[in-house]
Chain A
Amino acid sequence: MSGYAETYRGQVLASECNFLGHMNIQFYAARVSHAIWSMSYMIGIPAEDIKGGKKALVSVRQEIDFLGELMAGDILHMETGILKTTNKTLTLHNKLINSATGETVMTNEMTAAYMDVSLRKAVPLTSEMRANIENFMITQEAAT
Chain B
Amino acid sequence: MSKLIACYRGNVNAWECDQMGHMNVQFYMSRGAEAFGHLQNALGLSPARIREEKKGLRFKSLRIQFKAEVHAGSALHGLCGVREVVGDTLHGFIHLFDTAFDRLSAVFEFTAAYTDFVSDETLPLPADLRDTAETLSDEHPESYRPAPFSGTLMPSTALDHMFESSRASVNTWECDQFNHIEMRHVVGYFSDAATHIIGAVGLTRGEIRRRNLGSAALDYYTEFHAPIKMSAPIVLKSGLISAERKIFRFGHNLVDLDSGNIAVTTTVVGCYFDMSLRKSVALPDEFTNYPKEKWLSNQF
The answer to whether B47 touches A71 (Cβ under 8 A) is yes
Residues 71-123 of A at the B interface (beta carbon under 8 Å)? 71-75, 77, 99-101
Residues 30-57 of B at the A interface (beta carbon under 8 Å)? 31, 33-34, 37-38, 41, 46-48, 50-51
Contact among A7, A9, A14 for B6, CB-based, below 8 A: A9
Taking CB atoms, residues of chain B closer than 8 Å to A100 are: 41, 46-48
The answer to whether A6 touches B9 (Cβ under 8 A) is yes
Binds A, one of B173-181, B215-223, B267-275: B173-181
**Taking the complex as formed, is B71 at the interface, i.e. its CB lies under 8 A from any CB of chain A?**
yes
Taking CB atoms, residues of chain B closer than 8 Å to A52 are: 73
Taking CB atoms, residues of chain A closer than 8 Å to B175 are: 14-15
11 A-B contact pairs sorted by A residue (CB < 8 Å): A9-B8, A9-B77, A15-B182, A41-B99, A47-B73, A50-B73, A51-B71, A72-B177, A75-B47, A99-B38, A100-B47
Taking CB atoms, residues of chain B closer than 8 Å to A10 are: 8-10, 31, 34
Least distance between A49 CB and chain B CB atoms (Å): 9
The answer to whether A37 touches B50 (Cβ under 8 A) is no
The answer to whether B176 touches A51 (Cβ under 8 A) is no
Q: Given the known A-B contacts A51-B71, A77-B9, A100-B41, are A72 and B100 also in contact in the complex, defined by CB atoms under 8 Å?
A: no
List 8 tightest A-B contacts by C-beta distance, closest first: A72-B177, A51-B73, A11-B34, A47-B100, A9-B9, A11-B37, A37-B11, A73-B47
**Taking the complex as formed, is B234 at the interface, i.e. its CB lies under 8 A from any CB of chain A?**
no
Residues 1-58 of A at the B interface (beta carbon under 8 Å)? 6-11, 13-15, 17, 34, 37-38, 41, 47, 50-53
The answer to whether A38 touches B51 (Cβ under 8 A) is no
Tell me the count of chain B residues lying within 8 A, CB to CB, of chain A: 34
Least distance between B201 CB and chain A CB atoms (Å): 33
The answer to whether B9 touches A75 (Cβ under 8 A) is no
What's the count of A-B pairs with C-beta under 8 Å?
A: 90
Chain B residue at smallest Cβ distance from A12: B47
**Taking the complex as formed, is B156 at the interface, i.e. its CB lies under 8 A from any CB of chain A?**
no
Q: Given the known A-B contacts A37-B11, A72-B176, are A11 and B75 also in contact in the complex, defined by CB atoms under 8 Å?
A: no
The answer to whether A51 touches B177 (Cβ under 8 A) is no
Could you tell me the distance between the alpha carbons of A117 and B193 in the complex, rounded to whole angstroms?
A: 37
Contact among B41, B73, B172, B177 for A37, CB-based, below 8 A: B73
The answer to whether B37 touches A75 (Cβ under 8 A) is yes
The answer to whether A73 touches B10 (Cβ under 8 A) is no
Taking CB atoms, residues of chain A closer than 8 Å to B74 are: 47, 51
**Taking the complex as formed, is B144 at the interface, i.e. its CB lies under 8 A from any CB of chain A?**
no
Chain B residue at smallest Cβ distance from A74: B47
